[in-house]
Amino acid sequence: MEVAGFLRENPLLDKRIIGDYISNRKHSEILHAFVCSFDFHKIRIDEALRIFLESFRLPGEAGPIALILEEFAAHWSAVNGNPFGNVDAAYILAYQVIMLNVDQHNSNVKKGGNSMTLEALKNNLRGCNNKQDFDPEMLKEIYNAIKYGLGYFFLRIYVLKCLVVYVYPVRCMRCLTSDSIAYTYVSTKPTFSIVQGDKYIRDPPIISETT
């Protein structure tokens, strides 16, 4: 699509505006064309995500981020022969990659303790690959690439203005910034509950799975 090509190839465009535009549900066809213009074949998901996020700035709200990552996960999975249990697994891992990047590198993050460890990453993602675990060696490679800067996103400062809590099924990982709060509950199909201050925008789903 010509519009998607224009958004990718015009270096004078404001990356924040690009992110806001493609994450608008009215422009879903343009978002699809924009994502599909990237060749992610044989590129590991965290590396593909870094390349992808260098072309625009992610919005600060959970809903638009989810919309973009859903398209990204579907395209990455398709061009790589669906290497995970399902597309949702790619989506969850992509979201976790972003949060790991924030945890490791965003100076605005207020941490209650030390940065996330590799074991914590594995625990957060346990059972998220269509009720199976992801390859531990792949997770180790992703973790080291982000921790030591090899997969460090240039757009890291703008990733999220929220606190995101992953629950799968009852574990959680928290990442804080100072602006607002959002809870992301991940079950079989990821859904969102967003909180700003003390105001609930949407209630969280009931998580029934247990370990």
Query: Which DSSP string corresponds to 107-136?
Result: TT---SSSPPPHHHHHHHTTTTBTTBPPPH
Of 29, 61, 137, 141, which residue is the catalytic one?
A: 61
Instruction: Assess if residue 51 is contained within a domain.
Output: yes
Instruction: Assess if residue 205 is contained within a domain.
Output: no
Confidence at 165, pLDDT banded by 50, 70, 90:
very low
Active site residue 61: yes
**Spatial contact of 182 and 163, defined as CB atoms under 8 Å apart:** yes
pLDDT at 18 (0 to 100): 95
pLDDT higher at 1 or 180: 1
pLDDT at 60 (0 to 100): 83
Instruction: Assess if residue 29 is contained within a domain.
Output: yes
Residue 19 has pLDDT above 90, yes or no: yes
Which domain does 172 fall in, by range?
2-200
pLDDT at 29 (0 to 100): 96
Instruction: Assess if residue 211 is contained within a domain.
Output: no
User: Which domain CATH number covers 175?
Assistant: 1.10.1000.11
Total tally of structural domains belonging to the chain? 1
Residue 61 has pLDDT above 90, yes or no: no
